[in-house]
Amino acid sequence: MNPSAAITRQFKYYDLILGAYVCVLLCANLIGPAKMSTITLPVIGDITFMAGVLFFPISYLFGDVLTEVYGYARDRRVVWSGFAALLFAALMSTVIVALPPSAGWRDQQAAVETIFGSTPRIIAGSIIAFWSGSLVNSYVLAKMKIWTQGRWLWTRTIGSTLCGELVDSALFYFIAFYGVWSMQQLLAVTATQYVLKTSWEVLMTPVTYRLVAKLKRAEHEDFYDRETDFTPFTLKI
């Protein structure tokens, strides 16, 4: 389809995907960091990770689908929506934790602080890493779609995730924990999270294929970003 014509189009499922994306993002960032988990795998041994790592990669699946079907510019709007939602959630959490508890709630204040009282570094790391990694993921996928002429979807969903998750993982852990953890621990946790997230994307490739195929048929859209302005600092389509 002509890119200029797609700008004025109304899509059936774009808004629903945007809402689902923001929901997953908020849950992964608010609920996920509340627990560290350790599992034992054959041969590999113990792996420790933040529980949210099991669900956060879903946002990258959405990013792949949005960019593949609707184009980089529409995915960029979704990323900015998620960015704004995370900022508001961080503000809301800070205010709620800081409010003095009532007499009957003082015994539970510590639990509220543990779950929602993230340090400013963790909050900043989470938001910056999400924004940067998501836009890198979308940019790489959009460019690879042109290079591959729309063939080999798996190469760009996996390739873009490898790039986006690398940026995301590196930024988050270094912003949040540099100087708090030893360098060895920092690198080990970053590498573990990166491998888990990208492995999740590889396993979800069949699901991505099915969602993309269904959306392209339903929306009659298969966007190529040949004339797209790739600056991240705009909401224009």
Q: What ranges do the domains of the chain cover?
A: 3-98+113-219
* CATH 1.10.1740 is the classification of domain 3-98+113-219: no
pLDDT beyond 70 at 8: no
Locate 115 and state its tokens.
């779950």
pLDDT beyond 70 at 52: yes
Q: What does the pLDDT read at residue 41? A: 75
Question: 136-182 pLDDT, tens per residue?
Answer: 999 999 999 999 999 999 999 999 999 999 999 999 989 988 898 89
Question: 68-93 pLDDT, tens per residue?
Answer: 999 999 999 999 999 999 999 999 98
Q: What does the pLDDT read at residue 115? A: 73
A 10 A CB-CB count for 180 gives 11
User: What's the rounded mean pLDDT across residues 26-47?
Assistant: 76
User: What's the rounded mean pLDDT across residues 13-31?
Assistant: 89
Q: What does the pLDDT read at residue 116? A: 77
Q: What does the pLDDT read at residue 37? A: 77
Paired with 178 in beta bridges are: 181
Report the percent of the chain where pLDDT is more than 70. Answer: 95
Q: What does the pLDDT read at residue 29? A: 79
Task: Give the ranges where the chain is alpha helix by DSSP (H).
Answer: 3-7, 14-30, 57-70, 72-98, 109-116, 120-147, 153-177, 183-203, 205-219
Locate 170 and state its tokens.
């590196």
195, 161 Cβ separation under 8 angstroms:
no
Which among 123, 133, 167, 142 has a CA at the least distance from the CA of 60? 133
pLDDT beyond 60 at 7: no
CA pair distance 95, 211, nearest whole angstrom: 39
Q: What is the CA radius of gyration of the chain?
A: 19
SS3 28: helix
151, 190 Cβ separation under 8 angstroms:
no
Q: What is the mean pLDDT of the chain?
A: 88
CA pair distance 150, 156, nearest whole angstrom: 9
Q: Output the CA–CA distances (angstroms, integers) from residue 79 to 101, 118, 135, 181, in the order listed.
A: 35, 22, 7, 30
CA pair distance 95, 70, nearest whole angstrom: 37
